[in-house]
Structure 1
Amino acid sequence: MKYILLIGDGMGDVPVPALNNQTPLEAAATPTMDRLARASEMLLVRTVPEGYPPGSDVANLSLMGYEPELYYTGRAPLEAASLGVELAADEIAFRCNLVHVERGEDGRLIMIDYSSGHITTGESGQLITALQAECGSEQVTLYPGVSYRHLLVYRGELPEGFTTVPPHDYSDQEVTGFHREYAKIPSLASLIERAGAILADHPVNRERQRQGKRTANAIWLWGEGKRPAMQTLDARFGIRGGLISAVDLLKGLGVLGGLDVIDVPGATGYLDTNYAGKARAALEVLAKDDFVLVHVEAPDETGHQGLAREKVQAIEDFDGKIVAPIVEEMERRGEPFRLVVTMDHYTPVHRRTHEDWPVPMFIYDSRGVSQPSGRTYTEANVLAAVDENGLQLDSGARFFRRFVEQEQGGSKR
């Protein structure tokens, strides 16, 4: 049996006036997902436990069968694992975003763009390398990642009450109070101040400004934590396989879960990602192993930007360029397979941030299911199917056990 987990990050939404009061998933043309969903078991699954932030870190950890209550220590340690950075016991990892902020005459700081205009990996790598050369120390080390997403490792302890927030939750909002938190750690406060001056004068930013693009004029640190202790999926469930994503967070989960993390050239985490390469890589994994996870970031990114029609495009691309070729080839091969299409969380375009609502998904089994839904894949249809058949799971870990056929049953709605 082959197990295929396909995640459209942030794909869920609520009705959007600009889409005739449809959700992006309802407005999108998704013939392959709809065909599979009609023959599938539909589920509603809580991927974010109560009291946890509704981030992709918690939600995807959950979807891979790990209880966040037992394994979650923060987002950045997962990204450190992706980059091959081994955290010592006295080291704390931070996600380091390259952002664009504006400071008003009254001193208020506004988060204009959490991604610096989706700066390219080549450009951002030069910026982070320059910051490390100028600001790196025994206490602070910066590592380049993908696009605007990078890593900082801090050696030391954090002061009591220190908190950070993800910048994508505060687009076009004041973040002055959150920024003041860094003053509690003098070495980080000094780094952030120096970084602004270095970035402002860097040739990459001067060229972006010349082209009328958003510059990366600041760094924003968040998602801090120490390295988690995790068993591999092979040890827990007896499955081996690979993970394909453009996002360091997901790659880190793959590393810690004992999966082969496949780097696909041209995978960007946005609408221009190499879909065909990701689908081919998934099929290559399935030719030798029994599990693959394919993660697509574009629906989440467009949700954070508040772009409804672009989110529709991201969902259509997910269906046509990921789900369709994988399913068609698996059917051609004639091997039995179970396939899940899901989101990790909702990212409504009107909110431009995540919600912790239970996520709609379906499990397709090429051998057939006892009670096929007969419905296409939309948020409302899954809710209706759950109301009718009553399958709702209270954790991603329970979903994963059911997916790999190690647990049956679910709570009634």
Structure 2
Amino acid sequence: MRALVVGAGIGGLAAAGALAQNGWETTVLEQAPAPRTTGYMIDFFGPGFAAAESLGAIAHLQRHGEMYSRARYVDQTGRTRAKFAMESFLNAAHGKFFSILRPDIETGLREWVGDSVGIVQGARVVSVDPGRCPGTDGPGVPARAVVADGRDFEADLLIGADGIHSTVRGAMPAIPGTRVLRHLGLHVFGYVFYDPELAANLGREVVLSDSLVRQATLYALSDGRVTFFGVVECHDPDPAPDTREELFTKFRGLGSDVDRALDQRPAEIFEDVVAQAVVPAWSAGRCVLLGDAAFAVSLLAGQGASLAIAGAKVLADALGSGNDIPAALAGYEASWRPLVEQQQEAGRRNARFFVPSGRRALLLRRWSLHLMNLAPVNAVIARRVFGASVVGKGHPGP
């Protein structure tokens, strides 16, 4: 059986590798000319950790991971307003927790898949035909994808893992275009820069701004680099370039370390709206959606990468060797959608936890963070903020 995966991101690579383990001949089409290097720091835990263990990929991810001792919220003068030990998250996740840059997850997954799948870089998909499985409507028709340079790919199964702005999703029947996106009123920026002095000052602490309507976060990496992640209130789902620059300047004044990070912004950065994908059906014909294309939970939900990897395993397990594709795709959605919807609800709560809009919400966040340091209540707070899947043992499969 042949599978075609559109998108060499986290979900796409995980699905390709999992299908290859089941004996599928798998090709991944990626529009970027080379592996991406821009991104932001992710805390990796939950069902994706369990899935990566089962797939044999976890060691490749942990090799690129970081561990931090605590998180500290500071005001513009550097005064600590709240802090909590990262041990709280380790306890809530049963020790299965680490931090990792988003592009490093993709690097680890590429190391894991090795030569078992073919990855075609610089292949921008311009049209998709979801094909048809054999049945009462007639014989089966392969799924097809055509890329910008005219190359045509056919497969028994096409997986759209091309992100929240998915081209594949837009080509599927009965999906109402951009109306599937639920905008959460925020915009994000992320990048990495080299500053050994700042990295040494930060140490193993995650430093976050204790601020209204925007938040800046700094992580030091082990090699002298620092990663900046900024979230700012923005109610325009597609801001113009000038507006985006104006949004970026709102991080000024959150502290000397943040200003120092802003001064070192590289030419290429990650930036996007904070939104969720609410898709009425994840499959049509021989085509199925995965990861953010199907169920983006938002960048602030804390589980996007985890759900992409776990969802890829659920899909691959349902497909097996590919004997009954329609039943497999229906089973994948039926088993995975409830957990995704729970996590999306947690992500909507999370948005205002990260970016409080008023003084009362800011004080409530400080109080919640103080409680995270108390062993009897940290799991309860983790459930409330990140969803029940965080503190459980992870989703074992379909």
State the TM-score, normalizing by the size of structure 1: 0.28
Greater RCO (Cα-Cα under 8 Å, separation 6 or more): 1
TM-score, length of structure 2 as denominator length: 0.29
More strand by share: 2
